[in-house]
């Protein structure tokens, strides 16, 4: 097999060493302080009404025995329609239906030595697909992307291994797999070997029709036919390498770990009241180098998800979520049973293994070789120390400014909270969530994620993916907020007023300039109060109820009892936002009103520092109270 030596290492067993930079390119707290070595208390692998375990527990003698022991067919609206179900039928003529699974087995038992023969076999049990599918990407992969030796090796060795895995579904998955539907808090645990069996069937396109059990159920695709027909895109060819390398690994040595898929739903009455939260920001590590999956391994890794989990992993997509699913192909199994996510939901996958290395992003995505986990830290349930949290951001492509509206702010805060609140401990590894094709503002999303993490007492490792300026801007704002001891609730009030006071009024103030201005004004106001406090030594003639400014006497108003609103009510929160808007508007009006007189006062100063700021009274920044 010397002809395979030209391979990058698609069929090599060894894992080439990775170059590690000694350069320290980060700010904040060392990421090593954030890392833990266990996932022990996240989701115990114990069968219950809301946790389906596909093997017998406890596991004895390193042997995963499938559960249930006797085959139980589930062909209904609550379970995945399995390819080996007797109720999966296929039209062999206009008047006769036969069980589909024997046809699948007969087609795949034949000697298949080319992509055309593989296509023919798949079409033989997908009659409708044969009329509209075109496996051009698959054909190019074996005729041009791989060299002849690699192609021959695949059809002689790897494909028979995939087929063997697929056929094992009969004994490895004897029971039904429930759907993780909207509104559920439910988990599914399976062995890595069972995951490989399910993925082998997806590769061979054996799953019966999808989304046909109910018009209200929406699931992502699972069969690989979409990927096989994505044309000549270089990134698609590289995606196929990722999957082939995975199958090459698992058919030769079936993995013996456990994976848990958890759908998490937090009801509205359990979401934080952001306006009232008094948490200060937690610790931050931020770097323009490194990635979530490399440097953030061992933390709670955030998947910038599509609401249809996995996004375009089985299509043309090759950005953050798709790349995570490509280097950890076991994640693709979640597409089999996970209905699209709602605004208050997240999907968490515990224990998936990484099999591939990569370079590039999007169109430049390239498989970079086989990856072998160097530290196989397992919990007591045999799960790797790997937790992936999938949360989908809102798509603001049509109107990016809409993301600053209160409803959008709360949606993103709540979505991040649902994911970040998973587990009683652990820290977050994340980055520019929803800031690519979804047009999110990374400076805004950074604050949103910090707020959600801080409410849950979790530190944040943040990666800006090569953007040094963004790293510095985010860290400077983080320090500014920390220095001013701004709580999550205060920050929410400021952010919630930004859209109406800045964007809609076209003041031209950027988000961070607005934050500096607003928080700076509050600080100056406090200093002003201190400067104008009563001095026991001042002359009596100035101790009256008037304050003189620019030769105009302004009578102080008698204090009026304030109306008290509770922030726990909609009316209270509404009034709080309106007050913030009024205050900011009054400040801007006051600045405009006094700008000309300020310039004259500075010009007329003699023997004084003309660069010193003009002192203002607190009353200048607020509308005068009515005498009525």
Cis peptide leading into residue 565 (ω within 30°): no
The pTM score is 0.81
pLDDT at 187: 98
| pLDDT at residue 458, as a whole number | 97
Q: Find tokens 């059990």 and name the residue.
A: 213
User: Where residue 37 falls among pLDDT bands split at 50, 70, 90?
Assistant: low
What is the rounded (10 degree) CA torsion for 260, 265, 270, 273?
100
Q: Cβ contacts of residue 494 below 8 Å, gap of 6+?
A: 514, 515, 518, 519, 580
> What DSSP letter does each residue of 65-120 carry, written as one string?
-BSSSS-----STTB---TT-TT-EEESSSS-EEEHHHHHHHHHHS---SHHHHHH
H helices present in 389-546, as ranges:
406-420, 442-455, 468-483, 488-498, 511-531
**pLDDT score for 521:** 61
211-230, pLDDT tens digit by residue? 554 445 799 999 999 999 99
Longest dimension (CA), the chain: 108
271 Cβ neighbours under 8 A, 6+ residues apart: 344, 414, 417
Model confidence at 67, pLDDT cuts 50, 70, 90, reads very high
Across the chain, what does the average pLDDT equal? 84
Evaluated on CA atoms 326, 330, 332, 338, the torsion sign reads: negative
Please identify which residue in the block is written with the tokens 């115990």.
44
68: preceding bond cis by omega (within 30 degrees): yes
Task: Report d(CA 481, CA 485) in Å as an integer.
Answer: 6
Q: What DSSP designation does 300 have?
A: E
Closest by CA to 300, choosing from 43, 512, 26, 472, is 43
Nearest to 559 by CA among 625, 614, 615, 494: 625
pLDDT of residue 571: 65
In Å, how far are 36, 97, 428, 478, 480 from 460, measured between CA atoms? 13, 56, 5, 12, 17
pLDDT at 211: 57
C-beta separation of 248 from 254 below 8 A: no
What is the percent of the chain with per-residue pLDDT over 70, rounded to a whole number?
76
Instruction: Label each residue of 129-186 as H, E or C.
Output: HHCCCCCHHHHHHHHHHCCHHHHHHHHHHHHHHHHHHHHCHHHHCCCCCECECCCCCE
Mean pLDDT of 416-433: 96
Residue 8 has pLDDT above 90, yes or no: no
Length of the chain (residues): 628
Question: Residue 592 has what pLDDT?
Answer: 63
Q: Judge contact between 137 and 234, C-beta under 8 A.
A: no
DSSP 499: I
pLDDT per residue as tens digits for the range 76-96: 999 999 999 999 999 988 889
Residues with catalytic annotation? 303, 321-322
Report whether pLDDT(508) > 90: no
Q: What is the pLDDT of residue 570?
A: 62
Per-residue pLDDT, 563: 55
């Amino acid at each position: 097999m010397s002809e395979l030596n030209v391979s990058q290492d698609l069929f090599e067993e060894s894992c080439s060493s990775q170059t590690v930079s000694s350069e320290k390119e980060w700010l904040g707290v060392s990421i090593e302080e954030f890392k833990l070595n266990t996932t022990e208390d996240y989701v115990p692998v114990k069968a219950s009404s809301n946790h389906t375990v596909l093997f017998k527990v406890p596991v004895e003698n390193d042997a995963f025995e499938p559960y249930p022991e006797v085959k139980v067919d589930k062909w209904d609206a609550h379970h995945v329609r399995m390819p080996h179900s007797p109720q999966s039928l296929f039209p062999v003529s206009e008047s006769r239906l036969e069980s589909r699974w024997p046809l699948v087995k007969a087609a795949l038992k034949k000697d298949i030595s080319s992509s055309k023969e593989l296509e023919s076999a798949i079409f033989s049990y997908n009659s409708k697909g044969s009329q509209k599918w075109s496996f051009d990407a698959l054909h190019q992969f074996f005729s041009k992307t791989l060299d002849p030796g690699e192609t021959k090796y695949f059809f002689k060795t790897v494909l028979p291994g995939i087929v063997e895995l697929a056929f094992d579904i009969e004994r490895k998955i004897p029971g039904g797999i429930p759907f993780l539907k909207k509104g559920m808090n439910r988990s599914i645990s399976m062995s890595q070997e069972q995951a490989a069996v399910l993925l082998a069937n997806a590769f061979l396109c054996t799953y019966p029709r999808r989304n046909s059990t109910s018009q209200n159920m929406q699931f992502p695709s699972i069969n690989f036919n979409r990927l096989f027909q994505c044309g000549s895109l270089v990134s698609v060819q590289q995606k196929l390498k990722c999957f082939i390398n995975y199958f090459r690994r698992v058919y030769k040595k079936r993995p013996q770990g456990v994976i848990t898929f958890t759908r998490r739903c937090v009801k509205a009455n359990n979401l934080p009241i952001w306006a009232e939260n008094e948490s200060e920001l937690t610790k931050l590590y931020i770097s323009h180098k490194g990635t979530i999956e490399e440097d953030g391994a061992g933390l709670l890794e955030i998947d910038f998800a599509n609401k249809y989990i996995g996004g375009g992993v089985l299509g043309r997509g090759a950005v953050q979520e798709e790349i995570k699913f490509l280097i950890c192909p076991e994640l693709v199994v979640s597409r089999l049973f996970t209905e699209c996510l709602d605004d208050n939901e997240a999907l968490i996958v515990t224990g998936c293994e990484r099999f591939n290395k990569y370079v590039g992003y999007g169109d430049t995505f390239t498989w970079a070789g086989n990856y072998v986990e160097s530290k196989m830290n397992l919990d007591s349930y045999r799960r790797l120390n790997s937790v992936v949290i999938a949360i989908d951001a809102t798509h603001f492509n049509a109107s990016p400014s809409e993301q600053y509206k209160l409803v959008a702010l709360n949606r993103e805060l709540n979505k991040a909270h649902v994911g970040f609140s998973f587990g009683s401990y652990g820290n977050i590894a994340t980055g520019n969530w929803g800031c690519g094709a979804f047009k999110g503002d990374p400076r805004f999303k950074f604050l949103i994620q910090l707020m959600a993490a801080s409410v849950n007492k979790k530190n944040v490792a943040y990666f800006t993916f090569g953007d040094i300026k963004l790293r510095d801007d985010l860290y400077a704002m983080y320090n500014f907020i920390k220095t001013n001891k701004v709580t999550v609730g205060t920050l929410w009030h400021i952010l919630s007023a930004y859209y109406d006071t800045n964007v809609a009024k076209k003041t031209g103030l950027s988000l961070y300039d607005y934050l500096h201005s607003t928080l700076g004004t509050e600080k100056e106001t406090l200093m002003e109060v201190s400067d104008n406090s009563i001095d026991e030594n001042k002359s009596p003639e100035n101790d009256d109820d008037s304050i003189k400014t620019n030769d105009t006497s302004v009578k102080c108003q008698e204090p009026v009892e304030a109306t008290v609103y509770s922030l726990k009510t909609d009316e209270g929160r509404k009034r709080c936002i309106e007050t913030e808007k009024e205050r900011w508007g009054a400040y801007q009006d006051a600045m405009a009103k006094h700008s000309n007189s300020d310039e004259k006062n500075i010009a007329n100063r003699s023997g004084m520092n003309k660069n010193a700021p003009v002192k203002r009274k607190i009353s200048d920044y607020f509308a005068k109270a009515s005498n009525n």
